[in-house]
Structure formats: C-alpha cells, structure tokens
Structure 1
Amino acid sequence: MSPRFDPTHLQLSVAYLAAQILVLGILTVWTRSFVGLGFALIAQAVSILPPRLWPYPVLIIAGLLGQSWRLYDDFPNGDWAVIAAFFFNTLLFTSMFVAFALVARQREQMKALVEQVQQAREGAEALAAHNAQLAEERRQTIAALEAARRELAAAERAAGVLEERQRLARDIHDTLAQSFTSIVMHLEAAEPQLERVSDSAHRHVGQARQSARDGLAEARRLVWALRPEALDQASLPEALERLAGRWSEASGVAATTTITGAPRPLPAEVEVTLLRVAQEALANVRKHARATTVTLTLSFMDDALLLDVQDDGVGFVSGVAPGARGEGGFGLTGMRERVARLGGSLSVESAPGEGTTVVVELRAD
C-alpha cells in the first residue's frame, strides 16, 4: 500500500487514506488475515499526515479493527443488520476524518493567508517608509543642485563682471590715459614757444593742459578702481605682502605684513576694496606721516574681516586728516564710500606724535 502521490498535498493524502480505511474495513470483516494491514495503515497515516491530523485516522483504524474482529464470526451467516451498521459506522468515521482534515486544511490555509496579509502589510509599510526616505533624499538633492546652480550662476556673473572690468581697465590705460599723457606732453613742450602770443592764448593753453591733466587723473582713477593687477595671480594676503615689499623699497620705510586667523577665499570686490584701501593708506603715510615703520595686519575672524594699517609717524588732530581726497587714488573719503557699499566701516585713529591707524571692518558674509 505504498502511496503513489506527493504526500505534501494534504487533500490527496486524506482521500488516499480514507479509501484505504474503507477497503481495510471490508477486508477485515471478510477475513482476519488482513488485520495486520491496519497497523501498516496506521504507520502510513503517521508518516504522511501532519501531527495535528494523524490521531484521527489512528483512532478510526483502531476502532475498525476491533469491530471487524468481533463481527468476523457472524459473517457471512451472522446478523446482516449488525454488519450493515458496522459498514455504516466505518463510512461515518471515515467521513468525519475527511471533514476534520478539510477543516484543518482550511484553517491552515486561513492562517497562511493571514500571515501573507501581515507580511504584505509590513512590506507595504517598509516600502512606504523607503519611498518617503527616497523622496526626502530627492528633495534634498534637488535643493542642493538648485543651490549649486545659483552659486555657479553667481560665480559666472562675478567672473564675467571681473573680466569686463579688467578689459575696460586695459582699454582705458591703452587709449585714454596714453592720449591724455601725449596731450599734456605736447602742451608743455609748446608752452615756452608761446611767449610772444597774447595772454588769452596762454590762458587757453593752460586750460587745455589742465583739462588734459584732469582727464589723465580721471583715467588713472578708473584704472585704479577697475583692475587691481596685484590680484590677477595672487590671493589678497600675498598681494598685501608684495605691496608692502614694493612700497618699502620705494619709500625707504620698513613695512611688514601680518596675517591672523585662517585665510579663506573672498569675493573679488572685497579683495579689490581692501587692496585699494591699503594702497591709499600707504600713499598717505609716504606723503604725510614721516614714519619709520608701517604694519599691515589682515585678520580673518569668524564673523568679521579686519584690515589695519598702522604707522609710527607724526599723526594729526582727529578730524583734520591729510590726504582726505587723495591724489591719483581715491582718498579717505573715497575709501569710506567704497567700504560702506560693502556694508563695512572705515575708521582713522590718530593723535599728534602718536602715529595713525586706518581700520577697515567688513562682515564675514
């Protein structure tokens, strides 16, 4: 009675065992020689059914064997009503076994379905959480890309503005400045030859010469404001050190540069302004201070940027600063205006005999 089906299929297992139980009941009533098959059938039921089901066929088979042993002597000459009752009970018990097996199978399927639903719900929750995380990462990535795009656009605009400023400075230097210089030279060369002309002619020549000089000074101021050559290939700290070195050689006054804090990249307009302030302050020291030493200090702080230009010269009374308008540059007044456009401040500290300190403070941002 070896099975010819896959025992993992519960429905086939139950049907197969039910058929064997029914056949066993008939055979054991017919002859006791088949009683041993009942024990083999019990072993088979235990081996192919899940643990929750095999007690049912075992009880049915055991009861069937007991009944068939008692009815053997009455068959075929016995009470047919008793024999019919035996077969009815056999069918009833077999049907109950099948019913129990089907109910158990449905419960197992329901349990498996509930577990699948639970797993699906947990999977859906995990997927929703993962999708939310991906959406947040996508939002952050888009925000970062947008910020990078804005920064790149600003950098491109700044680079374009700086390049245009440098081009204008070169054009002014190569055209207007050279032309004004040539006019001044020609007028100065012609002036000695105009001794016998009228005073009116002298006056017109003098006015022309002064206009040419004014135009030349204006061209130089434009070049000064537009194109800081010292920053073309160097950072602001390096440009200040080179400026101090060249100024010291030209003036004979000792000049040192000190950098404090951690240097960081600065906007081009900030670097240009600080370099121009340092140049103008040194020009004033050379013209008015009669100093022996000058110190330039650039301080990188967390929330501010400071530039100090300090000399040990004669100083002056506060409010009466020499070089207020500057010559060829843009003077203390121009320095203050330019620093103010960047949201900063410029102060001058001085007293007679105590030297002078020019302090520029800009916000770190």
Structure 2
Amino acid sequence: MDGLQINQKINSYIIDSQEAEIKRIALELHEGVGQNLYSILTGLQFVESGLSEQNMKSYVHEMSELIEKTIQEIRLLSVELHPPTLTTFGLLPAMKSYLKLYTSTFGILVDLTTAGEEAILPERSKIAVFRVCQEALTNIAKYADTSKVKMTFHWSGAELKITIDDFGKGFQLEDHDGTHASHSLGIAMMKERMHLTGGKCEISSKIGEGTSIKLSLPL
C-alpha cells in the first residue's frame, strides 16, 4: 500500500469518525436536551395556569415562550447536523428538507430540479454528497452575496450529477487560498469527500457572474 492509499484511508477514517460523533450529538440534542427543555416548558405552563398575580404570570409566560423558541432552535440544529430523513428516506428528500431550513435561515431561495429516477446510495455516499452540498450552500450564504441559487440533480443509469449555480459575485480561484482560508478549507474538504467516494467535485467561478459547482458520483 503506497503513501497515497494510506492517506486516503486515514482521511476516510477521520471523516467516518466525525460523522458518527455528529450523529451522536444530534441525537443527544434532540432526545436529551430537547426533551428536558420540553419537560421544563410543560412544568412552567402548569405553574402559569395556577398563578393569579398578573406580573408573575406574565413573567412565567415570557419564560415559557423563550424555552419554546429554544426547543425549536435545537430541533433545527439537530436536523442540520444529521437529518433523520437522510437515513430513512434517502438523499433527495433529505436535501429538500434541508433546503427549507436553509431558505428560512438565510433568505436564499434554492430552485431545485431533478431528472431521472433516484438510485439507492450506500450510506457513506449519501452522507458525503449531502455534506458537500451543505458546505457549498453554506459558502454561498457566507460569500456569494446572492438571493437565488439553482440546483439540479440528474440521475442516470451509471452516474449522479449535481450542479449548484449561485449567480453571485464570484471569486478568483487562483487567489482564493490566501484570501479566505476558511472558504478554501471548505472547498478542499468538499473535493476530498467526493474523491473518497469515487466521485468528483469541480468548481468554476467568474467575478460578477457567480460560482458553479459540479459534482459527479458513479452509481
């Protein structure tokens, strides 16, 4: 086994370990912290119903609303970390669910179109493609300065192709490493994730015209 294969195995092990930890944290947030907060909310609502002093009743009601909002935020964070639909229903339903969350969070409308019949992907491939799309969309929200994104999924007998076009301000690929280190690291991780699943990630960008990301994964 040469050095490149060893590095790939190490990277694959690290990514798999990270995903296992992310899944554990997401489950704990939803079923642990979220459920505890829900129990506290129920208790506060019971206390509120028995109060007669108006100032105290208003205060408890405000606390109940704050906890209710926190529960919702934890649920959204849990879904973002590890969407349960990814394992249960597949890549496309999970992406549609995530896009609703993405639009409500960032105000960026994503026009998703699909062609072909969705194929069943191995768990590792599903997670890899989902994470790459998630990273691409996060980068768009941070850097692209756009309000609309076009995403296409094209399923054929032998390959899944995904394109993501942001129509934003674009950037110079050759100068990007030294300018936005976090963005550059995200792009490198996207390419590495696709590479480890046997796929490809190609990125092109023009100043003033936007960025296009093309993913391909053999089926």
TM-score category by the smaller chain?
0.5 to 0.7
Q: Distance in 1 between matches of 2:151 and 2:180?
A: 19
The structure 2 residue matched to 1:240, chosen from 77, 83, 95, is 95
The structure 1 residue matched to 2:23, chosen from 166, 169, 173, is 169
The structure 2 residue matched to 1:316, chosen from 171, 175, 182, is 171
Count of matched residue pairs: 152
Closer, same or farther: CA 173–243 of 1 in aligned 2, 3 Å = closer
For residue 73 of structure 2, what is the aligned residue in structure 1?
A: none
The structure 2 residue matched to 1:280, chosen from 115, 127, 135, is 135
C-alpha contact 1:344 1:361 (8 A) present in aligned 2: yes
- Give the match's secondary structure for 1:286: helix
1:169 Cα deviation after fit: 3.1
Q: Distance in 1 between matches of 2:161 and 2:115?
A: 10
What's the C-alpha RMSD, in Å, of the aligned pairs? Answer: 3.1
1:228 Cα deviation after fit: 4.6
For residue 302 of structure 1, what is the aligned residue in structure 2?
A: 157
Give the aligned residue type for 1:276. R
Counterpart check, 1:266 vs 2:121: yes
Structure 1 residue ranges without an equivalent (≥5): 1-161, 179-219
Structure 2 residue ranges without an equivalent (≥5): 1-15, 33-76
Give the aligned residue type for 2:200. S
C-alpha contact 1:325 1:333 (8 A) present in aligned 2: no
C-alpha contact 2:113 2:153 (8 A) present in aligned 1: yes
For residue 208 of structure 2, what is the aligned residue in structure 1?
A: 353
Deviations, residues 127-164 of structure 1 (Å, cap 9, x unaligned): xxxxxxxxxxxxxxxxxxxxxxxxxxxxxxxxxxx9xx
Closer, same or farther: CA 343–325 of 1 in aligned 2, 3 Å = farther
Deviations, residues 50-76 of structure 1 (Å, cap 9, x unaligned): xxxxxxxxxxxxxxxxxxxxxxxxxxx
Q: Distance in 1 between matches of 2:83 and 2:97?
A: 13
Closer, same or farther: CA 174–238 of 1 in aligned 2, 3 Å = closer
The structure 2 residue matched to 1:338, chosen from 193, 198, 217, is 193
Structure 1 or 2: more strand by fraction: 2
C-alpha contact 1:289 1:315 (8 A) present in aligned 2: yes
Give the aligned residue type for 2:202. S
Q: Distance in 2 between matches of 1:303 and 1:351?
A: 31
The 5-angstrom pairing of residues 1-365 of structure 1 reads 166=20, 169-170=23-24, 174=28, 227-321=82-176, 325-326=182-183, 331-364=186-219
C-alpha contact 2:146 2:167 (8 A) present in aligned 1: yes
Q: TM (normalized to structure 2)?
A: 0.60
Deviations, residues 325-362 of structure 1 (Å, cap 9, x unaligned): 459xx711111111111111111111001111111111
1:292 Cα deviation after fit: 2.0
Deviations, residues 183-203 of structure 1 (Å, cap 9, x unaligned): xxxxxxxxxxxxxxxxxxxxx
- Give the match's secondary structure for 2:198: coil
Identity of aligned pairs, percent?
26
Q: Distance in 2 between matches of 1:300 and 1:229?
A: 22
- Give the match's secondary structure for 2:174: coil
- Give the match's secondary structure for 1:250: helix
Give the aligned residue type for 1:348. I
1:261 Cα deviation after fit: 1.0
Q: TM (normalized to structure 1)?
A: 0.37
C-alpha contact 2:87 2:123 (8 A) present in aligned 1: no
Q: Greater CA radius of gyration, 1 or 2?
A: 1
For residue 69 of structure 2, what is the aligned residue in structure 1?
A: none
C-alpha contact 2:200 2:216 (8 A) present in aligned 1: yes
